């Protein structure tokens, strides 16, 4: 960001740099804590999932440091984390509204498209 320039060659001011760094810091913190909280909530509500997660985790030696390769082998954990984020996304959806009346595939204002 320090080296970024707009089309006129202008960089960000100190204040803009500070604001952007704080935004990234808080955005990263909020999404991570939200995802971890959702994971804890959903695994607590589903003890059978927690049991399978524990079973997978017991395959690894706790005396050895955790590596990226070891994490890649935890396929059930990855599946659970993906499902948690699908069910309760850490970032809320963007709400949009239609600016003009339109029709797509035979569906218009008076019909609802269900996916």
Distance, in Å, from the CA atom of 87 to the CA atom of 74, rounded to the nearest integer, reads 20
Helix (H, G, I), strand (E, B) or coil at 83: helix
- pLDDT at position 21 is 84
Domain of 72 in residue numbering reads as: 1-115
State the total domains in the chain. 1
Give the sign of the dihedral formed by CA 20, CA 22, CA 26, CA 29: positive
Q: How many Cα atoms are found within 13 Å in the side-chain-facing hemisphere of 23?
A: 7
- pLDDT at position 97 is 66
Pick from 48, 41, 26, 51: which is nearest to 88 by CA?
41
Q: What is the pLDDT along the chain (115 residues), one digit of tens a residue?
A: 888 888 999 998 888 888 888 888 777 777 888 899 999 999 999 999 999 999 999 988 888 888 898 889 999 999 999 999 989 888 766 666 667 777 777 776 654 444 4
Distance, in Å, from the CA atom of 22 to the CA atom of 27, rounded to the nearest integer, reads 8
């Amino acid at each position: 960001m320090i080296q970024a320039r707009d089309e006129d060659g202008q960089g960000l001011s100190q204040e803009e740099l500070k604001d952007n760094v704080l935004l990234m810091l808080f955005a990263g913190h909020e999404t991570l804590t939200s995802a971890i909280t959702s994971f804890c909530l959903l695994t607590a509500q589903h003890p059978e999932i927690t049991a399978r997660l524990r079973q997978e985790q017991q395959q690894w030696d706790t005396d050895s440091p955790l590596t990226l390769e070891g994490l890649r082998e935890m396929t059930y954990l990855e599946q659970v984390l993906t499902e948690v984020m699908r069910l309760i996304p850490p970032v809320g959806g963007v709400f949009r509204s239609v600016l003009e009346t339109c029709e797509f595939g035979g569906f218009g204002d008076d019909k609802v498209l269900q996916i």
